[in-house]
Amino acid sequence: MKLIEVVAAVIESEGRILCVRRGANARAYISGKWEFPGGKVEQGEQQGAALVREIEEELQVAVRLLERLMTVEHVYPDFELRMHAYLCSLAEPGREVVLTEHVDFRWADPSGPAFVELDWAAADVPIVDLLRRRARGA
State the pLDDT at residue 57: 97
State the pLDDT at residue 1: 87
pTM of the prediction?
A: 0.95
| Residue pair 130/83 in contact by the 8 Å Cβ criterion | no
State the pLDDT at residue 138: 62
Positive or negative, the CA dihedral 28, 32, 36, 40 is positive
Distance CA 60, CA 135 (A): 27
State the pLDDT at residue 136: 87
Comparing CA positions, the residue from 14, 7, 66, 12 lying closest to residue 37 is: 7
Instruction: Give CATH for domain 3-135.
Output: 3.90.79.10
Domain ranges of the chain: 3-135
Digitized pLDDT (tens) for each residue of the chain, 138 residues in all: 899 999 999 999 999 999 999 999 988 889 999 999 999 999 999 999 999 999 999 999 999 999 999 999 999 999 999 999 999 999 998 899 999 999 999 999 999 999 999 999 999 999 999 999 999 886
